[in-house]
Amino acid sequence: MTIYRNFINGEWAESASSKTAQNINPANTDDVLGTIKQATREEARRAVESAAEAFRMWRTTPAPQRGRIIARAARLMEENKEELAQLLTREEGKTISESRGELQRSINVAEFCAGESRRMNGETIQSELPANFAYTIKQPLGVVACVTPWNFPVAIPVWKIAPALVAGNTVVFKPASLTPATATRIVELFEEAGIPRGVLNLIIGSGSEAGDEIINHPAVKAVSFTGSNQIGIRLYEEVSRRGAKVQCEMGGKNPVVVLEDADMDLAVESTVQGGFGSTGQRCTATSRAIVVNEVADRFVERLVERANNLRIGAGSDPQVEIGPSVDENQFKTVLEYIDIGREDGARLLCGGERASGDGLDKGYFVKPTVFDFVTPDMRIAREEIFGPVLSVLRVKDFDEALQVANDSEYGLSSSIFSSDATRIFRFVDEIETGMTHINSPTTGGEAHIPFGGIKATGIGDREQGSTALDFYTDLKVVYVDYTGRKREGNLY
Ligand code: NAP
pLDDT tens per residue, range 116-168: 999 999 999 999 999 999 999 999 999 999 999 999 999 999 999 999 999 99
Q: For residue 482, how far is its CA from the centre of ligand 1 (angstroms)?
A: 51
- Note whether residue 473 is domain-resident: yes
Residue 112 pLDDT > 80, yes or no? Answer: yes
Co-location of 34 and 64 in the same domain: yes
Instruction: Give the Cα separation of 436 and 20 in Å (integer).
Output: 42
- Note whether residue 393 is domain-resident: yes
- Note whether residue 448 is domain-resident: no
Q: What is the pLDDT of residues 314-333, one digit of tens each?
A: 999 999 999 999 999 999 99
- Note whether residue 378 is domain-resident: yes
Q: What is the pLDDT of residues 367-414, one digit of tens each?
A: 999 999 999 999 999 999 999 999 999 999 999 999 999 999 999 999
* C-alpha 486, offset from chain centre: 53
* C-alpha 313, offset from chain centre: 24
Co-location of 131 and 104 in the same domain: yes
Q: What is the Cα Rg of the chain in Å?
A: 24
| pLDDT confidence band for 492 (50 / 70 / 90) | confident
User: Is the distance from the beta carbon of residue 206 to the nearest atom of ligand 1 less than 6 Å?
Assistant: yes
- Note whether residue 452 is domain-resident: no
Co-location of 221 and 259 in the same domain: no
124-126 and 132-140 strand pairing: antiparallel
- Note whether residue 235 is domain-resident: yes
Co-location of 224 and 281 in the same domain: no
Residue 265 pLDDT > 80, yes or no? Answer: yes
pLDDT of residue 484: 97
Known active-site residue 409: no
pLDDT of residue 141: 98
Known active-site residue 283: yes
CATH code of residue 470:
3.40.605.10
* C-alpha 205, offset from chain centre: 19
Structural domain including 419 reads: 254-438
Q: Which of 113, 146, 248, 283 is catalytic?
A: 283
Co-location of 124 and 264 in the same domain: no
- Note whether residue 492 is domain-resident: no
CATH code of residue 390:
3.40.309.10
Co-location of 351 and 384 in the same domain: yes
Query: Which residue minimizes the CA distance to atom 18 of ligand 1?
Result: 208
Co-location of 246 and 258 in the same domain: no
Co-location of 182 and 323 in the same domain: no
- Note whether residue 447 is domain-resident: no
Co-location of 261 and 171 in the same domain: no
| pLDDT confidence band for 489 (50 / 70 / 90) | confident
How many Cβ atoms from other residues are within 10 Å of residue 218's Cβ?
Answer: 11
pLDDT of residue 491: 80
Query: Which residue minimizes the CA distance to atom 35 of ligand 1?
Result: 227
Co-location of 348 and 290 in the same domain: yes
Q: Which of 43, 249, 384, 463 is catalytic?
A: 249
Co-location of 267 and 186 in the same domain: no
Co-location of 213 and 318 in the same domain: no
User: Is the distance from the beta carbon of residue 231 to the nearest atom of ligand 1 less than 6 Å?
Assistant: yes
Q: For residue 147, how far is its CA from the centre of ligand 1 (angstroms)?
A: 7
Name the domain count of the chain.
Answer: 2
Q: Which of 147, 209, 229 to mutate to test the pocket of ligand 1 (most atoms within 8 A of CB)?
A: 147
Mean pLDDT for 415-436 is: 98
